[in-house]
Amino acid sequence: MELTLECQTRPAGSKPNSLRRSGLIPAVLYGHNGVESLALTVPAKVAETLVRRASVNNTMIDITVPELPWQGKALLREVQSHPWKRSLYHLSFFSVGTHAFLDVDVPVHVVGEAPGVKVNGGSLDQILTELRVRCAPNLIPDFIEADVSNLQLGGSLHVSDLKLPEGVTSLGEPDRVVVIVLGGDKQSGEAE
Protein backbone atom coordinates (compact mmCIF):
# COMPACT_ATOMS: atom_id res chain seq x y z
CA MET A 1 0.00 0.00 0.00
CA GLU A 2 1.29 3.47 -0.86
CA LEU A 3 -0.12 6.74 0.46
CA THR A 4 0.34 10.39 -0.51
CA LEU A 5 0.90 13.24 1.93
CA GLU A 6 1.45 16.97 1.47
CA CYS A 7 3.34 18.72 4.29
CA GLN A 8 4.36 22.29 5.05
CA THR A 9 7.65 23.42 6.59
CA ARG A 10 7.37 24.25 10.28
CA PRO A 11 7.79 27.99 11.01
CA ALA A 12 11.02 28.74 12.90
CA GLY A 13 10.45 29.20 16.64
CA SER A 14 6.95 27.69 16.58
CA LYS A 15 5.88 25.83 19.72
CA PRO A 16 4.50 22.27 19.31
CA ASN A 17 1.50 22.88 21.62
CA SER A 18 0.61 26.05 19.74
CA LEU A 19 0.75 24.14 16.44
CA ARG A 20 -1.52 21.40 17.83
CA ARG A 21 -4.06 23.98 19.06
CA SER A 22 -4.16 25.44 15.55
CA GLY A 23 -4.92 22.02 14.03
CA LEU A 24 -1.39 21.08 12.91
CA ILE A 25 0.71 18.10 14.01
CA PRO A 26 4.49 18.63 14.22
CA ALA A 27 6.50 16.18 12.11
CA VAL A 28 10.08 15.60 11.06
CA LEU A 29 11.59 14.07 7.92
CA TYR A 30 14.98 12.37 8.28
CA GLY A 31 17.36 11.28 5.54
CA HIS A 32 16.00 13.48 2.74
CA ASN A 33 19.37 15.20 2.36
CA GLY A 34 22.01 13.07 4.01
CA VAL A 35 22.03 13.56 7.78
CA GLU A 36 19.87 16.71 7.70
CA SER A 37 16.36 16.65 9.10
CA LEU A 38 13.43 18.79 8.03
CA ALA A 39 10.84 20.17 10.48
CA LEU A 40 7.32 19.89 9.04
CA THR A 41 3.65 20.23 9.94
CA VAL A 42 0.75 18.04 8.85
CA PRO A 43 -2.93 19.02 9.20
CA ALA A 44 -4.34 17.07 12.19
CA LYS A 45 -7.20 15.44 10.22
CA VAL A 46 -4.79 14.31 7.49
CA ALA A 47 -2.36 12.96 10.11
CA GLU A 48 -5.13 10.99 11.87
CA THR A 49 -6.23 9.44 8.58
CA LEU A 50 -2.62 8.60 7.71
CA VAL A 51 -2.01 6.88 11.06
CA ARG A 52 -5.19 4.77 10.64
CA ARG A 53 -4.17 3.63 7.14
CA ALA A 54 -0.39 3.29 7.52
CA SER A 55 1.77 0.84 9.44
CA VAL A 56 4.90 2.08 11.18
CA ASN A 57 8.03 0.98 9.27
CA ASN A 58 5.95 -0.77 6.63
CA THR A 59 3.88 1.65 4.54
CA MET A 60 5.47 3.68 1.77
CA ILE A 61 4.31 7.32 1.75
CA ASP A 62 4.83 9.72 -1.14
CA ILE A 63 5.61 13.04 0.61
CA THR A 64 5.48 16.45 -1.03
CA VAL A 65 6.75 19.68 0.54
CA PRO A 66 5.69 22.37 -1.98
CA GLU A 67 7.55 25.24 -0.27
CA LEU A 68 11.01 23.72 -0.81
CA PRO A 69 10.11 22.08 -3.38
CA TRP A 70 10.85 18.53 -2.25
CA GLN A 71 9.12 15.30 -3.14
CA GLY A 72 10.08 11.73 -2.34
CA LYS A 73 9.17 8.44 -0.76
CA ALA A 74 9.34 7.87 2.98
CA LEU A 75 8.34 5.41 5.67
CA LEU A 76 6.34 6.42 8.72
CA ARG A 77 9.02 5.73 11.33
CA GLU A 78 7.37 6.80 14.60
CA VAL A 79 3.99 7.99 15.90
CA GLN A 80 3.84 9.77 19.25
CA SER A 81 0.43 10.17 20.88
CA HIS A 82 -1.10 11.00 24.25
CA PRO A 83 -1.14 7.79 26.38
CA TRP A 84 -4.89 7.67 27.04
CA LYS A 85 -6.48 10.40 24.91
CA ARG A 86 -4.81 8.95 21.80
CA SER A 87 -4.46 12.44 20.32
CA LEU A 88 -1.42 12.75 18.05
CA TYR A 89 1.64 14.64 19.27
CA HIS A 90 4.30 14.06 16.63
CA LEU A 91 5.12 12.06 13.47
CA SER A 92 8.55 11.02 12.20
CA PHE A 93 9.27 10.02 8.60
CA PHE A 94 12.39 8.49 7.06
CA SER A 95 13.20 9.19 3.41
CA VAL A 96 13.96 6.05 1.42
CA GLY A 97 14.60 7.56 -2.00
CA THR A 98 18.36 7.03 -1.84
CA HIS A 99 18.25 3.58 -0.23
CA ALA A 100 18.54 0.48 -2.41
CA PHE A 101 17.30 -1.83 0.36
CA LEU A 102 15.47 -1.40 3.65
CA ASP A 103 15.02 -3.61 6.71
CA VAL A 104 11.35 -3.54 7.76
CA ASP A 105 9.00 -5.51 10.00
CA VAL A 106 6.09 -7.07 8.13
CA PRO A 107 3.01 -8.64 9.78
CA VAL A 108 2.58 -12.42 9.43
CA HIS A 109 -1.00 -13.51 8.58
CA VAL A 110 -2.09 -17.10 9.13
CA VAL A 111 -4.04 -18.51 6.15
CA GLY A 112 -5.75 -21.86 5.63
CA GLU A 113 -7.16 -24.34 8.11
CA ALA A 114 -4.88 -26.81 9.87
CA PRO A 115 -6.13 -30.44 9.85
CA GLY A 116 -4.59 -30.86 13.31
CA VAL A 117 -7.09 -28.26 14.56
CA LYS A 118 -10.13 -29.04 12.40
CA VAL A 119 -9.97 -32.86 12.53
CA ASN A 120 -8.00 -33.64 15.70
CA GLY A 121 -9.16 -30.84 18.02
CA GLY A 122 -5.76 -29.26 18.48
CA SER A 123 -5.18 -25.54 18.88
CA LEU A 124 -3.20 -23.22 16.64
CA ASP A 125 -0.63 -21.02 18.37
CA GLN A 126 0.97 -18.20 16.38
CA ILE A 127 4.39 -17.54 17.90
CA LEU A 128 5.70 -14.98 15.40
CA THR A 129 3.38 -12.12 14.42
CA GLU A 130 5.97 -10.02 12.54
CA LEU A 131 8.94 -10.93 10.37
CA ARG A 132 11.91 -8.67 9.69
CA VAL A 133 12.70 -8.62 5.97
CA ARG A 134 15.07 -6.82 3.60
CA CYS A 135 13.81 -5.51 0.27
CA ALA A 136 13.73 -2.53 -2.06
CA PRO A 137 11.41 0.30 -0.90
CA ASN A 138 8.92 -0.41 -3.71
CA LEU A 139 8.69 -4.13 -2.83
CA ILE A 140 7.62 -3.89 0.84
CA PRO A 141 4.81 -6.44 1.25
CA ASP A 142 1.69 -5.51 3.25
CA PHE A 143 1.99 -8.90 5.00
CA ILE A 144 3.57 -12.36 4.73
CA GLU A 145 1.27 -15.40 4.56
CA ALA A 146 1.83 -18.43 6.79
CA ASP A 147 -0.16 -21.26 5.17
CA VAL A 148 -1.16 -23.82 7.81
CA SER A 149 -3.22 -26.06 5.48
CA ASN A 150 -0.89 -29.05 5.99
CA LEU A 151 -0.21 -28.81 9.73
CA GLN A 152 -1.14 -31.86 11.81
CA LEU A 153 -1.04 -32.19 15.62
CA GLY A 154 2.44 -31.28 16.83
CA GLY A 155 3.28 -29.80 13.42
CA SER A 156 4.94 -26.43 13.07
CA LEU A 157 5.77 -23.89 10.41
CA HIS A 158 9.19 -22.22 10.53
CA VAL A 159 10.53 -18.99 9.03
CA SER A 160 12.30 -21.07 6.34
CA ASP A 161 8.89 -22.51 5.31
CA LEU A 162 7.36 -19.11 4.51
CA LYS A 163 6.93 -18.22 0.84
CA LEU A 164 8.30 -14.70 0.44
CA PRO A 165 7.55 -12.46 -2.55
CA GLU A 166 10.28 -12.10 -5.16
CA GLY A 167 12.95 -9.59 -4.07
CA VAL A 168 12.13 -9.99 -0.36
CA THR A 169 14.64 -11.72 1.96
CA SER A 170 13.96 -12.85 5.51
CA LEU A 171 16.27 -11.58 8.24
CA GLY A 172 14.70 -13.90 10.82
CA GLU A 173 16.33 -17.09 12.05
CA PRO A 174 15.32 -19.81 9.52
CA ASP A 175 14.52 -22.39 12.24
CA ARG A 176 12.37 -20.03 14.33
CA VAL A 177 8.80 -21.30 14.80
CA VAL A 178 6.08 -19.13 13.27
CA VAL A 179 3.01 -21.31 13.99
CA ILE A 180 2.52 -24.59 15.87
CA VAL A 181 -0.46 -26.93 16.32
CA LEU A 182 -0.65 -27.97 19.95
CA GLY A 183 -2.04 -31.34 21.15
CA GLY A 184 -5.71 -32.22 21.32
CA ASP A 185 -6.27 -31.86 25.08
CA LYS A 186 -9.74 -30.54 24.24
CA GLN A 187 -10.90 -33.99 23.04
CA SER A 188 -10.01 -35.80 26.26
CA GLY A 189 -11.69 -33.04 28.30
CA GLU A 190 -14.91 -33.30 26.26
CA ALA A 191 -15.14 -37.09 26.65
CA GLU A 192 -15.33 -36.89 30.45
Residues 186 and 106 in one domain: yes
From 38, 66, 95, the end of a domain falls on 95
**CATH code, 108:** 2.170.120.20
pLDDT > 80? residue 170: yes
From 42, 67, 95, the end of a domain falls on 95
185, 116 Cβ separation under 8 angstroms: no
| Tens digits of residue pLDDT in 136-146 | 877 888 899 99
pLDDT > 70? residue 24: yes
pLDDT for the residue 187? 43
If one counts the domains in the chain, the total is 2
| Tens digits of residue pLDDT in 50-74 | 888 888 877 888 888 888 777 788 8
**CATH code, 59:** 2.40.240.10
Residues 182 and 153 in one domain: yes
| The overall pTM is greater than 0.75 | no
Domain coverage including residue 55: 2-95
